[in-house]
Amino acid sequence: MGVITEIFNTISRVVVLPSFYYMIFQSAAPILLAALAVAVAIKANAINMGIEGIMTVTSLVCVLVSSAVGGQPAGGPWLGLVVAIIVGGLLGFAVSVFAFRLKIDIILVGIAMNLIGTGASVLLMYVLTGDRTTTTSLSSGTLPQLAIPLLKDIPFLGEVLSGHYVLTYLAYILVFVMSFFLFKTKLGLRIRAVGENEEAAESVGISSLRIKTIALIISGVLGGIAGAFMSECYLAYFSSGLIAGRGFVGLAACNMGSGNPGIICLCCLAFGIFYAFSNFSTLSNLSIYALNALPYAVVLVGVVIYSVYMRKKELKRLQGLESEENLEHGQPAK
């Protein structure tokens, strides 16, 4: 009973704080970026499990480039972001080459990518900084936080919605951009066509190889932005455990949103609530480890609930088909 009271106490202490809501939006952003990255690829029927590795590498690249050109005063973070995007795109391309040109199971390519990504980032960090856990010795700086003119003066809402990092806003803007891209543009239609039925797409003259490659490059680019978020917004340095499965959580969010950016965004915000909770562990007597495990547990439960829902929907559809068939055969529907 004590635990339950404590949970309620914690919640009541935390939900009144504007910074809690601020944290929700901030901690959902990298997952959202990762989930969108996975979503583009999934729409083309390619599971980009290497997203974790791509995020790890790009977040390190960001820091290195930024500090190399002189850090924050010299606009280093911006250059870091650009390079991260390019590197991410290249890694996405690499995944597509291995998966589709060299014909390797794409999940295994992703696992190899994560392996190489973690190894390469730690090695690179060690060679360039002499430290094998963090790059705190480099001053790489962060991307700017934006104060939105009128919004920031509104008492509670201003604190929640204004003053986020540039990439946080970009993440939520990208939800709309990606929905538009996937559902309203020619390339988006082709990506979905290839994902739905490769042979049919080929038969009308779409090169499925090319489309899948493009989808994975876009996925890599989004992964690069997610990586940059982690080392230039979430923290101002890179450390070896920085990504901590956020790429995988993105994968789960994409799974739950069935590749639909809007639903993905809602899932990520829901996960964000629990990530935000773990940031307020000082206000709670609950175990910090329980709070840390919370986001992953919620993702797990979320995926299960989603699957139950989908199974019910599928069952209903099948029943509908059955009754239609019965009608055709002159039998009354039940």
Partner 1 sequence: MSEKKQTQGAIAKLFGGMDVESRFGLMRMAVAIAIGLGTAVILILVCAKNPAESLKFFFLGPLQIFNPNVPKGIGWNYFDQWIQSMIPLLFTGTAVAIMFSANKFNLGLEGAIMCGGLACGWVCCLLDGDIQAPNANPFLCAVIGLLVAMAAGALVTLIPALLEKKWGASIMVTSLMLNYISLYISRYCLFSTTLRDTRTSKYSWQWTEDVVLTFRKFMGTRFTLRLGLFIGIAVVIIGWAFLFKTKWGFKIRQLGQNPSFAKYVGVGIVSAGILVQVIGGAIGGLCGATVILGNYNYYYGVDLTGYGWDGVTMAIFAGNNPKRVLPAALFIAYIRAGASIMATQPGGPINELTKIVEGVIVLFLLAEKFLAKTHRKMIVEEAKRKQALKAVTGEEVAK
Q: Are 42 and 254 in contact (CB under 8 A)?
A: yes
The yes or no reply on residue 322 touching partner 1 (CB under 8 A) is no
Q: Where are the beta strands (DSSP E) in the chain?
A: 145-146, 164-165
Shortest CB 304 distance to partner 1, Å: 5
Q: For 274, what's the count of Cα atoms within 13 Å in the CB-facing half-sphere?
A: 20
Q: Which stretch binds partner 1 (CB under 8 A): 62-70, 97-105, 177-185, 318-326?
A: 97-105
In the numeric block, which tokens belong to residue 267?
């899932």
Q: Which amino acid is at 57?
A: V
Name the residue among 133, 138, 111, 107 with its Cα closest to residue 121.
133
The yes or no reply on residue 2 touching partner 1 (CB under 8 A) is no
Query: What is the rounded distance in angstroms from the CA atom of residue 37 to the CA atom of residue 41?
Result: 7
The yes or no reply on residue 297 touching partner 1 (CB under 8 A) is yes
Shortest CB 47 distance to partner 1, Å: 8
Q: Phi/psi at 331 (nearest 5 deg)?
A: -100, 145
Q: At which residue do the structure tokens 């635990």 appear?
A: 3
Query: Residues, the chain, total?
Result: 334
The yes or no reply on residue 304 touching partner 1 (CB under 8 A) is yes
The yes or no reply on residue 209 touching partner 1 (CB under 8 A) is no
Out of 82, 122, 146, 151, point to the residue binding partner 1 (CB under 8 A).
Answer: 122
The yes or no reply on residue 90 touching partner 1 (CB under 8 A) is no
Out of 113, 174, 211, 221, point to the residue binding partner 1 (CB under 8 A).
Answer: 113
In the numeric block, which tokens belong to residue 147?
């104060």
The yes or no reply on residue 318 touching partner 1 (CB under 8 A) is no
x/- site string to partner 1, residues 252 to 271, per CB under 8 A? x--x----------------
Out of 3, 7, 107, 177, point to the residue binding partner 1 (CB under 8 A).
Answer: 107
The DSSP code sequence of 268-314 is: HHHHHHHHHHHHTGGG--S-HHHHHHHHHHHHHHHHHHHHHHHHHHH
H or E stretch covering 43: helix 18-43
Q: Which stretch binds partner 1 (CB under 8 A): 1-9, 80-88, 161-169, 304-312?
A: 304-312
The yes or no reply on residue 161 touching partner 1 (CB under 8 A) is no
Applying CB under 8 A, the residues found at the interface with partner 1 are: 49, 98, 101-105, 107-109, 111-116, 118-120, 122-123, 126-127, 132, 241, 244-245, 248-249, 251-252, 255, 287, 289-290, 292-293, 296-297, 299-300, 303-304, 306-308, 310-311
